[in-house]
Amino acid sequence: MLVQLSHPARTIEIKGPKKAKDLFKELNLVVEAHLIIRGDELVTEDEMLYDQDQIEIRPVISGGSPRFTFHESRFTSRK
């Protein structure tokens, strides 16, 4: 299977078939920190991957809402 990775960006070839979780182990990647994408669908860790598959492994990036800005006037008591 053709595996596209980022950080650093590279493409490698891995022999299949194997479960996605075994691919993570082989590549020394943490399952909870990465996504496997085949085509335009996410692959679960128990799904089989085959030699003809072309997949992409992306790191999970979490963000958040924009930084909260404290507006003092909103919380100042009025007398």
The structural domains of the chain, ordered by start, are 2-75 (3.10.20.30)
Q: What is the pTM of this model?
A: 0.73
Q: 28, 23, 25, 26: which is closest to 37 by C-alpha?
A: 23
Per residue in 30-62, pLDDT (tens digit) is 999 999 999 999 999 999 999 999 999 999 987
Average pLDDT, the chain: 86
